[in-house]
């Protein structure tokens, strides 16, 4: 885990400078007061991007790609959804509580226009976006 933690500042700096990056949550997880997740066992990452394409370009490039490819060294495989996307109004940022609620909504109801996954995305207007493998 030390190798992962040692890369975090550089990975976050790359995100902050990436085209399309808008915002990321930078506070300690314990500050949320949410008892639904064990703060010592869960890494919370909330970010806002101007488009899925911008997010995808960042995730699969440079240092983040290296970290992503090595994720099994540090994290346990999760069978349930652990990543959720949804549209927000320009100029707003989600709270961690809202983000966890969206993740739970995805887990309980599956993808839809209000919250979705990488493989089953929806446009801001509600239409499903066909998956391109």
In this prediction the pTM is 0.87
pLDDT tens sequence across 52-94: 999 999 999 889 999 999 999 999 888 899 999 999 999 999 9
d(CA 115, CA 86): 5
The string of DSSP codes covering 20-87 is: TEEEE--S-GGGG---SS-TTT-----EEES-HHHHHHHHTSHHHHHHHHTGGGTS---SS----B--
Local structure of residue 16 (DSSP, 8 states):
H
CA 35 – CA 69 distance, rounded (Å): 30
Please give the residue range of the domain that contains residue 95: 2-129
Domain count within the chain? 1
Q: Are 4 and 67 in contact (CB under 8 A)?
A: yes
CATH number at residue 69: 3.30.70
Confidence check: pLDDT of 39 > 70: no
């Amino acid at each position: 885990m030390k190798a992962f933690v040692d890369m975090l500042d550089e990975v976050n700096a790359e995100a902050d400078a990436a085209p399309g990056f808008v915002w990321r949550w930078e506070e300690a997880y314990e500050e949320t007061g949410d008892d639904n997740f064990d703060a010592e066992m869960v890494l919370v990452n909330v970010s806002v991007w101007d488009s899925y394409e911008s997010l995808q370009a960042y995730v699969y490039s440079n240092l983040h790609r290296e970290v992503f490819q090595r994720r099994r060294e540090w994290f346990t495989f999760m069978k349930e959804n652990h990543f959720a996307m949804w549209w927000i109004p320009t100029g707003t940022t989600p709270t961690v509580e809202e983000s966890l609620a969206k993740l739970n909504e995805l887990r309980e109801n599956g993808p839809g226009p209000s919250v979705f996954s990488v493989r089953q995305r929806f446009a801001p207007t509600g239409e499903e976006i066909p998956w391109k493998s």
